[in-house]
Amino acid sequence: MSVYDIARVNMIESQLRPNKVTDERIIEAFSRLRRELFVPEHLRDVAYVDEDLPLGRGRYLMEPMVAARLLQALMPDRKETALVVGAGVGYEAALLSSLARSVIALEEDEELARFGRAALVDHRIASVIYVETPLAAGHRQRAPYDVILFGGAIAEIPSEVAAQLAEGGRMAAVLRPGAGVGRATLATRTGGVLAQRVIFDAATPLLPGFVPKSAFVF
């Protein structure tokens, strides 16, 4: 086993399983992906640590445990379509590719999208399509989606993205409307109504463009 293989096993056994990640499909998805290929070379030695990894320009790769618990809450099905808003380097989209039928990876940073596409090719994953466009608008062309995941914390769920969630669909995000810790939240659409419930606390960094309005300085 390589040092990365050992680190991957340690991530699963010390970060995921002890933190209520019990869905074996999620565990298997994490065990198959070479997380070190989804980060710049200077971060490869710390690719499996239990914290958010800085990718530059205010972007981060989510802590493994947070991503795993969000995915577990979403309960993706192999027949469903998924959207990842703020896909970044594509790690969460790649995880979803083994849990859902198809995945749209929405990203507005060209460099991150290019990096993500390369990692997907390395893993021979063909069911993820990168779309480069402003994140808050979602991607109406492929809507509605059964599953929507935000690849970072947001102050609030954008109405345009919420409108793209299918009836019976689930959406997961870390909500940080103000100062303090974020709340990993699952939203479900039933009868046209979007109901939310908090799953756990998370210190996930905010996605640029999704910060609280009060955070702007004029």
- The structural domains of the chain, with segments of one domain joined by +, span 3-215
Q: Buried b / exposed e across 10-47, counting CB within 10 Å, b at 16+?
A: ebbeebbeeeebebeebbebbeebbbbbbbeeebbeeb
Q: Which whole number is the average pLDDT over 39-59? A: 95
Confidence of residue 213 (pLDDT cuts 50, 70, 90): confident
Q: What is the pLDDT of residues 107-152, one digit of tens each?
A: 999 999 999 999 999 999 999 999 999 999 999 999 999 999 999 9
Task: Give the whole-angstrom CA distance, residue 32 versus residue 147.
Answer: 21
* Euclidean distance between CA atoms 166 and 150, whole angstroms: 16
pLDDT at residue 218 greater than cutoff 60: no
Residue 217's pLDDT is 47
> Can you tell me the mean pLDDT for 51-75?
97
Structure pTM?
0.94
**Mean pLDDT, residues 2-18 taken together:** 97
Q: Are strands 182-190 and 165-175 parallel, antiparallel or unpaired?
A: antiparallel
97: which 2 tokens?
Answer: 């590719």
Residue 155 CA to its chain's centroid (Å): 16
pLDDT at position 214: 60
- Higher per-residue pLDDT: 83 or 181: 83
Checking if the pLDDT of 19 tops 80, the result is: yes
Helix count and strand count (H, E) for the chain: 6, 9
pLDDT at 47 over 50: yes
C-alpha 99/C-alpha 123 separation (Å) is: 15
Q: Residue 167: phi, psi to the nearest 5? A: -60, 130
* Residues 141-194 pLDDT 10s: 999 999 999 999 999 999 999 999 999 999 999 999 987 889 999 999 999 899
Q: At residue 216, does pLDDT exceed 90?
A: no
CA separation for the pair 158, 109 (Å, rounded):
19
For the residues 79-97, what does the mean pLDDT come to?
Answer: 98
Q: Return the CATH number of the domain spanning residue range 3-215.
A: 3.40.50.150
Which is nearest to 85 in space by CA: 10, 212, 178, 173? 173
